[in-house]
Copies of this chain bind each other. A is one copy, B any other.
Amino acid sequence: MDQKFDMDADKSQRGVAAVDRALSIIAALEAWSMPRNLSEISRATGLYKSTILRLLQSLQDAGYVIRVDESKYALGPTVMQLGLAYERANPLRHLFLPVMQRLVDAGLESPSFHIRQTAEERVCLFRLDSNHSTLDRVHAGDRLPMRRGAAGKVLLAFGEDHAEGEEMDQIRRDCFAASLGERDKFCAGVAAPVFTRRDRLMGALSLSGPKERFTPEDVERMKGPLQAAVRELTTEMGGTYPT
């Protein structure tokens, strides 16, 4: 595989570089389905072998990585347990995924749910793929920009800072946003807000996919089911949807 796991250069200034390196090793192991040796990890991550060995010591100690066949490394049982802990702690999955699945079953585009993470970024919490043969590439865990994409716009429009501007006003009136080719020129999406108690924004549910499936007719067709879904989720979250 030729996917590189270099650390994102513009992010290395704000966290801890050694932690970034360690997590890039885990990401490389995750991408492979078989244990890999030191040199393969070095090629994939761009890290020196001595650096990798030091980092692997910590990852092995914590059970994130195990060493098998004396010289290969693989994901260890701690990642499984973290996954289970995430499921235990996150009952939202059991609420959101059925609603999202119904959107898929209705033949619409790929649903995702996003929340704001920082002033400039959102994170995708859940993502299902549509039944179409082509998809836009978004995964749970992805960090995406706030200022581009339908979901980002919804988060800006309904967030606490109540972003200003004609476009934001329109989104607030419609409880709906569309974005054609903003985040990525080949992709498009529509989004609507999910509220929780006290009229607070919880996040944005979106439908996204390749741009050619977002004609004005397509967008109009998706609006109803999407808004029905966010109304249902808002009710379940103890919120009331603005009329």
Binds B, one of A51-59, A103-111, A223-231: A51-59
Q: A residues 79-118 with Cβ under 8 Å of B? A: 79-90, 115, 117-118
B16 & A54 in contact (Cβ 8 Å cutoff) = yes
Chain B residues with CB under 8 Å of A34's CB are 89
A58 & B117 in contact (Cβ 8 Å cutoff) = no
Q: Chain B residue with minimal CB distance to A140?
A: B77
B82 & A16 in contact (Cβ 8 Å cutoff) = no
Binds B, one of A18-26, A145-153, A163-171: A18-26
Chain B residues with CB under 8 Å of A26's CB are 82
Q: How far is the CB of A209 from chain B (nearest CB, A)?
A: 20
Oligomeric state, in number of copies?
A: 2
Q: How far is the CB of A86 from chain B (nearest CB, A)?
A: 5
Q: Can you list 5 pairs linking A and B with CB atoms under 8 Å apart?
A: A15-B57, A60-B118, A75-B89, A76-B141, A80-B87
Other CB < 8 Å A-B pairs besides A33-B88, A75-B86, A79-B83, 17 of them?
A11-B61, A16-B57, A18-B18, A20-B58, A30-B85, A32-B89, A33-B89, A67-B117, A67-B118, A74-B89, A75-B82, A76-B86, A77-B124, A78-B141, A80-B87, A81-B83, A83-B84
- Which residue of A11, A67, A75 has the most chain B CB atoms within 10 A of its CB atom? A75
Q: Chain B residue with minimal CB distance to A202?
A: B68
Q: How far is the CB of A8 from chain B (nearest CB, A)?
A: 7
A27 & B89 in contact (Cβ 8 Å cutoff) = no
A212-225 Cβ-contact flags toward B at 8 Å (1 or 0): 00000000000000
Q: How far is the CB of A89 from chain B (nearest CB, A)?
A: 5
